[in-house]
Amino acid sequence: MVPSGSVYYTQPTDGPALRVPVHGCLQIYGTHPALIQCQYCGQTVYTFPEPRAGALTILLSLLLVIWGCFLCCWIIPFWTNFGKDVEHRCPSCGYIVGVYKPL
Ligand SMILES: [Zn+2]
Provide the domain count of the chain. 1
Q: Measured in angstroms, how far is the CA atom of residue 52 from the centroid of ligand 1?
A: 20
Q: Measured in angstroms, how far is the CA atom of residue 32 from the centroid of ligand 1?
A: 17
Residue 2 located in a structural domain: no
Q: How does pLDDT run along the chain (103 residues), one tens digit per residue? A: 444 444 444 444 444 444 444 444 445 788 999 999 999 999 999 999 999 999 999 999 999 888 887 778 888 899 999 989 999 999 999 999 999 998 8
Q: Measured in angstroms, how far is the CA atom of residue 47 from the centroid of ligand 1?
A: 9
- Is-contact 84 101, C-beta < 8 A? no
Q: pTM to 2 decimals?
A: 0.66
Q: What residue numbers bound the domain in which 74 lies?
A: 7-100
Q: Measured in angstroms, how far is the CA atom of residue 40 from the centroid of ligand 1?
A: 5
Q: Measured in angstroms, how far is the CA atom of residue 39 from the centroid of ligand 1?
A: 7
Q: What sign results for the dihedral spanned by CA atoms 95, 30, 51, 101?
A: positive
